[in-house]
Structure 1
Amino acid sequence: MRPVDYQPTLNWWGHTWRVIGVLVISGVGWAPRIGYQWTDHRWWFCLDLFLGLVALVVAMRYRRTHPVLVATATALMTVVSTTASGPAVLALVSLSTRRRWKEIVPQALLTIVTMLASEYVTQAPDEAPLTTLDWALFVVIAGFIIAWGMYVGSRRELLASWRARALLTEAEQAARVREAQSAERARIAREMHDVLAHRISAVSMHAGALAFRDDLSPGEVKETAQTIQNSSRQALTELREVLGVLRDGPGDADPELPQATVADLDELIEENRRTGMRIDVHADVDVDALPTVLGRTVYRCVQEALTNARKHAPASRVRLSVVGAPGRGIDIRVENPLSLAAEQSPPESGFGLVGLAERVELAGGRQEHRTTGGDTFVLTVWLPWQS
Structure 2
Amino acid sequence: MGQASPVPVGETPALSTGRRWFFPSALLHELDPDAARAGRRPRRTARDWAVDFSCFLLAVVVGVTAVEALADNPHVPDGLAVADQVTGALACAAVWLRRRWPLGLAVALTPLGIFSDTSGGAGLIALFTLAVHRPFRYVAWVGGVNVALVPLFYWVRPEADVPYPVAVLFAGLLTVAAVGWGMFVRAKRQLMVSLQDRARRAETEARLRAEQAQRLAREAIAREMHDVLAHRLTLLSVHAGALEFRPDAPPAETARAAGVIRESAHEALQDLREIIGVLRAGEPDDTGRPQPTLAALDTLVAESREAGMKVSLDHRVEDPAAVPSSVGRTAYRIAQEGLTNARKHAPGTDVTVTVTGTPGTGLTVRVHNPPPEGEVPPVPGSGQGLIGLTERATLAGGRLEHGPTPQGGFEVRAWLPWG
TM range, normalised to the smaller chain? Answer: 0.3 to 0.5
TM-score for the superposition, normalised by structure 2: 0.44
Larger radius of gyration: 2
